[in-house]
Amino acid sequence: MLIDEYEKPVLDNITKKEEAEEMRNFLRSFYSVLKAQMDKIRFLLITGLTKFTKMGVFSALNNLTDISFKPEYAQMLGYTHEEVIHYFDEYIQKYLKLTGLSKDEFLEMFREYYDGYSFDGIWYNEQGRDRRVYNPYAVLLFFDNMRFAPYWSDSGAPSFVYEYLKEHNVSKSDLLNQKVSESDFSQWEIEDNPPYLFLTQAGYLTQRLLTTRTSLQPIYELSIPNIDARLGIEKLLLSTEQKIDLATVTSKVNTLAHAIETRDIQEMIEAIDSIYAKVSLRARKQIERSGRQDKLTHLEAFYQSIMVSLFESTGVNVVSEEESAGEGRMWW
């Protein structure tokens, strides 16, 4: 028996606590039927976005084996680098002929765009070989279209991700330099998850193990896995944080990307101005009410953060003034 998206009825009501709990109770009764039939089920695999809690949907089905963080299953749901080279060699050679790139140049770009996911947090094995996996959806679409694009994020964020970000007023600072334990992933119910855990489970962040597997409490550091995921989260946060509808953000980001590609400075300025126009009045009023003495500095920093988000959303490599001065990157 295979059950995919086991928690979807809860996710569809993620911003409505009463409805989410009602759906959870329904699912609990549904899955309890399975326990009574276990002697007739040879194999059961349940997959979903989020890790279940002890008292959640599966409290009635307590004999499941959770394989979420087990190293032996970590490469089951994505292509390894070796698999990409082996199984897609014909397509790789075709792309190299189309573009004139060397194989090494292509593989480096391909990794940056679609690789980087880790289910167990162990990025490299004892021999130094990369254990992370590629997004299989993006890989297949790339070789079908033969061009780089954020296929996964362009497929559209599920509505529950967008609603969650709006409901929780998530900002970039909520996702920076977060360190979590394995138990954190099953500590809260879906709708109560901290933003950084929710976005990890939704595919926008991935984890890296900082301690050893034998540690009493393994600790993981969260980060963006690749360009595809980064473009998706940048646009989502720009929309939800600045209260601009996602369609407008997507349109302006596409315009800006075209302006960068064609080096059309006027089109670039117009795209940036159109976004600023939608947030300027609200931002000014908010800063005026804040009581801060350094209102001008605060306003400048606000516009700078939007500027960075806009350019990051296009996929260009953004180097801030602070970074070029050797002070490090502000985020990601």
Percent of the chain whose pLDDT exceeds 90: 39
Spatial contact of 87 and 134, defined as CB atoms under 8 Å apart: no
Q: Look at residue 179 and give its three-state secondary structure.
A: strand
Least confident range of 5-9, 232-236, 274-278: 274-278
Condensed to tens digits (0 to 9), the pLDDT of residues 160-210 reads 888 888 888 888 878 877 999 988 988 887 778 899 999 999 999 999 999
Residue 76 has pLDDT above 80, yes or no: yes
Q: Amino acid letter at 269?
A: I
Average pLDDT along the chain:
85
Condensed to tens digits (0 to 9), the pLDDT of residues 239-275 reads 888 888 888 888 888 899 899 989 999 999 998 888 8
Instruction: State the DSSP code for 42.
Output: S
- DSSP strand pairing (2-3 vs 45-46): parallel
Helices (H), 100-184: 103-114, 136-145, 151-154, 159-168
For 234, the token pair is 């940048």
Q: Amino acid letter at 81?
A: H
Which band of pLDDT confidence, cut at 50, 70 and 90, is reported for residue 159? confident
Condensed to tens digits (0 to 9), the pLDDT of residues 120-149 reads 999 998 888 899 999 999 999 999 999 999
Q: What is the rounded radius of gyration, in angstroms, for the C-alpha atoms of the chain?
A: 22
The closest alpha carbon to 64, from 40, 88, 43, belongs to: 43
- Cα dist from 204 to 270, 315, 332, whole Å: 29, 15, 12
Which band of pLDDT confidence, cut at 50, 70 and 90, is reported for residue 327? very low
Which band of pLDDT confidence, cut at 50, 70 and 90, is reported for residue 97? very high
